Amino acid sequence: MTRRTSKVRAYAPDPGAPGRACDMPECDCAGEYRAPKSRTQLNDYYWFCLEHVREYNSRWDYYKGMTPGEIEANLRADMSWGRPSWPLGRLGSAMIDESMLHDPLDVLGAGGARRAPAQPSVPPELLEPLAVLSLTWPVSLDAAKSRWKELAKQHHPDANGGDRGAEERLKTITLAYAALRDKLTPEPREAAQ
């Protein structure tokens, strides 16, 4: 059993043909194929027979009579479907209030120049302890504890042959961790009465 395709062949007559004679002079065949009259009247058609529509299409040039600059402008307009287009940020940028934009997935910052995400301000009393432990704010209690353990093993006097300088560095590291721990540990809730 053979299947028939319901797809209309490109050379099949137009089903909306008006049922009149070919528009080519001295041709009495049926005008079943349409061809646009000009690039400015693309919805106004000549109706030709198959032989004459092929001849018309082979000679028809959409860009005939246009300068190279006009052709280039026409091609560029076709790239944006005839709608005006401009680079982002050039027009209307003054109207956008960036403080109102909420972009958790950083879609607007993707690609071009990325803005650094706003860092929460560091409490002034933690500037020195963070520098001693070589940590950046914001920091979690677990990260501070693991960094303290790492530095304590590295600067412990027993690991450095009883060096007094290592002992002083260990004290400084322990005091810095204590300051961070006190700030990062949540305050206990008061018992409900």
Domain definitions of the chain by residue range: 14-84, 124-184
Please name the residue that has the structure tokens 């071009």.
112
- On the question of pLDDT at 103 being above 60, the answer is yes
Looking at the DSSP bridge assignments, the partners of residue 30 are 21
Mean pLDDT (whole number) for 92-105:
65
Q: Which CATH number fits domain 124-184: 1.10.287.110, 3.60.21.10, 2.160.10.10, 3.40.50.720?
A: 1.10.287.110
- Rounded Cα gap, residues 51 and 22, in angstroms: 10
Q: What is the pLDDT of residue 67?
A: 92
Q: What is the pLDDT of residue 154?
A: 84
Percentage of the chain beyond pLDDT 90 is 3
- On the question of pLDDT at 173 being above 70, the answer is yes
- On the question of pLDDT at 42 being above 50, the answer is yes
DSSP-assigned states of every residue in 28-43: -SB--EEEEEETTEEE
For residue range 148-166, list pLDDT tens digits in order: 888 888 888 777 777 787 7
Beta-carbon count within 10 A of 188 CB: 6
Q: What is the DSSP letter of 83?
A: -
- Rounded Cα gap, residues 96 and 106, in angstroms: 17
- Rounded Cα gap, residues 134 and 153, in angstroms: 15
- On the question of pLDDT at 111 being above 80, the answer is no
Q: What is the pLDDT of residue 7?
A: 66
Structure tokens at 121: 């301000």
pLDDT band for position 34 (cuts 50, 70, 90): confident
CA angle, 79 as apex, 78 and 82 as ends, to 5°? 45
Q: Is the pTM of this model over 0.85?
A: no
pLDDT band for position 112 (cuts 50, 70, 90): very low
